[in-house]
Structure 1
Amino acid sequence: MSGIVAEEVCGSPLKKKTLYTLDNDRLIKVKSSRDGSTYGFGNFLYEVFFPEGYPDSVSKDYLTYQVFDTIQAFCSYVNGTIATQSVLTGLGVGEEASTALAATMTWVLKDGVGMIGRIVFAWAQGTDLDSDMKRWRLRADFFNDVATFLDIVSSQTRYFAFIICISALLRSIVGIAGTGTRPAIILHQARRNNLGDVTAKDASQETMVHLTAMIVALVIMPWIAHSHLLSWTVFFLLAFIHVLANYCGVKSLNLEQFNQSRFHLAVSAFLNSGGTFVPSIREVNRQEPVIVPLYRKWRYSIGCRLPRRAVSGGDFIEMREIYGDEVFCLMVNPSKGHVAVFLSPAATPADVIRAAFEVELIGHKLLTHFSAVRDTVLEVMRQTRMEAGDLYERFEKLARNEGFDFARNYLGARDWRLTWRSPDARTADFMVM
């Protein structure tokens, strides 16, 4: 038998490693000297609930987030069981058959309100779920606790149908927000083109948590069902842990893609340092607020439509003069502290980041012009145009060194695109911004 001729690993060599030797022209598997343990039930569970190649196949914050996600899912399920018992009481389950029709109609009304709520919320906020993922995920879990609270109190009032409809409306937001924000997290966690595996293992973890929570609920429900004090104590305790776990979970995520808050924090640190420093991904995510929006004196919208107020000939000439053949142009409204970013059809995700950087640079300059008049704003925009190219190159280089991703972003760019035409509509002259 010869020496070791092959080494096989899956993920980290410290987790699973197999060595092979050659014996009579056949590969023979030998026990790894670094493994020291045989395949057992613990290893089986490890393979069932974690993506293949873990921890190297997922992001570094994977385990921390999944732990907090497991805690919040457990608390949510148990509280949901308590709420279900209250709703069934309100519907008259177990009472005379005369209540059956009213109970059925109330349940149908509740489901109908929830369906309408899902459609309306997806229409109103669907485009913001990626760019403001952390905050919407936390909001959704808070709304879930409020909905559970309403379910519990519904059976104790005369307005049962009205209250459970409000609860259904809140849960519709929870469902859409949870579904809409989850892909961004999975995409962040999957590091080896293993979206399917990470998604499937996440579903397995959630199912196992629900099974465990179901067993716990079956044990405690007979104990607390006849005591309002115990029911409310358990509910508020689990609700507190649920919200806290969700807060810790979203704060543990270290996303490499920019949204407007993370981009503002990174660019502000860069400009305040004189163009020499960009904070780390972890520091930017740590500073990003997840409860209230980040305060910014200047806000911007990317991929805007032209404002209802028609762009005047003077505005047109000024924008053409400042931005020339650039694939974006800006319109600053100093009275509202807002910048509209118009994109051409040729604009790429990289151009979106460049446009956002120019907006941040303009806002940074205008902070020293609180009584900004039109001439001052235009002068700042012209100056920014001349400086933005070199500054952006330095910022991008420093940010890439920290690990920020410029291939994708969550800056909230809408899909409206604008092409300036020649005033002479008979010509084929299209002036792209």
Structure 2
Amino acid sequence: MEQPGGALVASERYGSAESWKYWAKDGAMERRRDGEQRQSAGSSVLRVFRTVFLPQGYPDSVSEDYLQYQFWDTVQAFCSSLSGTLATQASLRGVGVGNQEATVAAATLTWLLRDGTGMLGRIVFAWRKGRKLDSEAKKWRLFADGLNDVAMLMEIVAPHFPAFFTLILCSAGVFKSVVGVAGGATRAALTVHQARRDNMADVSAKDGSQETLVNLAGLLLSLLLVPLVTDDPPLTLGLFFLFTLLHLFANYKAVRSVVMETFNEARLSIVLQRYLRDGRVPGPAEANGREPLLPDFRTPVPIRLGVKLQDVVHRYPDQLDLALKGNNKPFLVGIRNGCVSVCLGPEASVGDEIRAACQALWLGGRLEAPTSRHENQNGHWETVHQSHQLMDDVFTGFLKDAEAAGWDVKRTLLDWDEWRVEWKTKSS
């Protein structure tokens, strides 16, 4: 291939960011950028910025929702940095900074009590809610940032209640410790989602660089802000509420922009209901857009996955035979004490887990109907048998359509507990 500049020898590209060609002429080889021959100063700066603050191979190495999420996450981090400055100033004033009557020992004791209660809160929260942070990462991410704003508000108002200052500060410390666990864990879960080339460490490191840059910008603005709000509580509260509103809005936009392709209970319920209603499987973008992120004050039927056998059946052999009737799958589904429970066999596949969860969700919807609330246990078993028949008819098509719609059916974020049961029928 001959060109005025010589013969094309080779071409290369760096991801989707840039491409180059090698031209040979008179025994020499020249490397030229594909397209524009010269690179402007502005594009050079942008290239350096991308190299420093974005994962290698961006945008091909991350999920499609990466840029939108990072934009709103940057906005919320900036607002949180400014709010944190106001809260820290109030806390320092409350422990006696600037007060000649305050003692170092009293201030130190208050600070140690705050840190100590925070450590205990961190352990208890991780124990009670740790496994929920994977399956409901977006909801807990939003919860963590909202709780962080509550903790900072408590720190700001604490100096105005001297008699309860230590109690308020310790409570805020507990809240912030919960924020640390929930925020850090959900950030890791979102990083796993965003990393598409086994580059979780790179994505996490660049996210840290972005956050450091934002905190630096917040620090510089705080240097101008602190002298203005010192000894002016109304202005402090006013600015805090302004930053908090923007912080919560940016957080909501950030988690709403995340499009996860794996099923958790909420997304599976949305997709299953639509499929049973009109035979169509919504794609990940549509289902994520409808996924609830705020607290739901309704009382839905509890669904427990991966439970002990006694949570499904408690009499042998009649109830175990009822649980196995019409069911040749490696799981048992039952209804007990108003709760839908699923026992999982050790040989169950991911497809079996999805099918069992679909049955449990369908049963939960049936139990919410007023006509089903007063059924006896035998009536519930008839409903369970209907769920087996329904899944026999529709599940294969549902799973195939879900995969075609873009869902990852090779893994899930369903909240399975660790119990695995091997059961025997009366005949065996």
TM-score normalised to the size of structure 2?
0.91
Find out whether 1:210 has 2:212 as its counterpart. no
CA distance in 1, matches of 2:36, 2:302: 55
Matches within 5 A, 1:11-410: 11-12=15-16, 15-23=17-25, 27-34=29-36, 36-38=38-40, 40-96=44-100, 99-158=103-162, 159-273=164-278, 276-293=279-296, 297-307=300-310, 311-313=314-316, 314-324=318-328, 326-333=329-336, 336=338, 338-363=339-364, 367=369, 369-370=371-372, 371-410=374-413
CA distance in 2, matches of 1:109, 1:346: 49
Match of 1:426 in 2: none
Please list every run of 5 or more consecutive structure 2 residues that lacks an aligned counterpart in the other structure: none
User: Compared with structure 1, are the counterparts of its residues 272 and 299 closer, same or farther at alpha carbon in structure 2 (3 Å cutoff)?
Assistant: farther
> Do the aligned partners of 2:313 and 2:319 also contact (CA within 8 Å) in 1?
no
Residue 368 of structure 1: CA displacement? 8.7
CA distance in 1, matches of 2:7, 2:202: 36
Give 3-state SS (helix, strand or coil) of 1:258's partner.
Answer: coil
The number of aligned residues is 418
Please list every run of 5 or more consecutive structure 1 residues that lacks an aligned counterpart in the other structure: 424-428
CA distance in 2, matches of 1:289, 1:176: 22
1:359-383: per-residue Cα shift (whole Å, max 9, x none)?
A: 2344456659534343433233223
> Do the aligned partners of 1:142 and 1:243 also contact (CA within 8 Å) in 2?
yes
1:289-332: per-residue Cα shift (whole Å, max 9, x none)?
A: 100249685441111124479711221222233434x2111112
Letter in 1 for 2:206: K
Q: Which moved more, 1:18-27 or 1:219-228?
A: 18-27
User: Compared with structure 1, are the counterparts of its residues 5 and 384 closer, same or farther at alpha carbon in structure 2 (3 Å cutoff)?
Assistant: same
Residue 228 of structure 1: CA displacement? 1.8
CA distance in 1, matches of 2:55, 2:277: 41
CA distance in 1, matches of 2:187, 2:413: 14
CA distance in 2, matches of 1:11, 1:356: 40
User: Compared with structure 1, are the counterparts of its residues 385 and 181 closer, same or farther at alpha carbon in structure 2 (3 Å cutoff)?
Assistant: same
Q: Which moved more, 1:377-386 or 1:144-153?
A: 377-386
Q: Which moved more, 1:86-95 or 1:356-365?
A: 356-365
CA distance in 1, matches of 2:28, 2:344: 63
CA distance in 1, matches of 2:90, 2:212: 24
User: Compared with structure 1, are the counterparts of its residues 359 and 347 closer, same or farther at alpha carbon in structure 2 (3 Å cutoff)?
Assistant: same
1:270-306: per-residue Cα shift (whole Å, max 9, x none)?
A: 0011xx2111211111111100249685441111124
> Do the aligned partners of 2:334 and 2:384 also contact (CA within 8 Å) in 1?
no
CA distance in 2, matches of 1:238, 1:218: 16
> Do the aligned partners of 2:122 and 2:177 also contact (CA within 8 Å) in 1?
yes
Residue 339 of structure 1: CA displacement? 0.9
User: Compared with structure 1, are the counterparts of its residues 310 and 207 closer, same or farther at alpha carbon in structure 2 (3 Å cutoff)?
Assistant: same
CA distance in 1, matches of 2:29, 2:396: 53
1:186-242: per-residue Cα shift (whole Å, max 9, x none)?
A: 111111222121111111100000000000001111112132222111100000101
Letter in 2 for 1:220: L
1:12-69: per-residue Cα shift (whole Å, max 9, x none)?
A: 2xx3122222356665311322474246222211211111221222111111111110
Alpha-carbon RMSD across the aligned residues, in angstroms, is 2.3
User: Compared with structure 1, are the counterparts of its residues 310 and 271 closer, same or farther at alpha carbon in structure 2 (3 Å cutoff)?
Assistant: closer
Residue 396 of structure 1: CA displacement? 0.9
> Do the aligned partners of 1:322 and 1:381 also contact (CA within 8 Å) in 2?
no
User: Compared with structure 1, are the counterparts of its residues 24 and 54 closer, same or farther at alpha carbon in structure 2 (3 Å cutoff)?
Assistant: same
CA distance in 2, matches of 1:294, 1:195: 35
> Do the aligned partners of 2:312 and 2:333 also contact (CA within 8 Å) in 1?
no
Q: Which moved more, 1:307-316 or 1:231-240?
A: 307-316
User: Compared with structure 1, are the counterparts of its residues 291 and 365 closer, same or farther at alpha carbon in structure 2 (3 Å cutoff)?
Assistant: closer
> Do the aligned partners of 1:261 and 1:294 also contact (CA within 8 Å) in 2?
no
Residue 115 of structure 1: CA displacement? 0.3
1:60-79: per-residue Cα shift (whole Å, max 9, x none)?
A: 11111111100110111111
CA distance in 2, matches of 1:209, 1:292: 29
CA distance in 2, matches of 1:293, 1:415: 27
Letter in 1 for 2:379: T
> Do the aligned partners of 1:16 and 1:35 also contact (CA within 8 Å) in 2?
no
Give 3-state SS (helix, strand or coil) of 1:93's partner.
Answer: coil
CA distance in 2, matches of 1:309, 1:272: 29
CA distance in 1, matches of 2:399, 2:235: 56
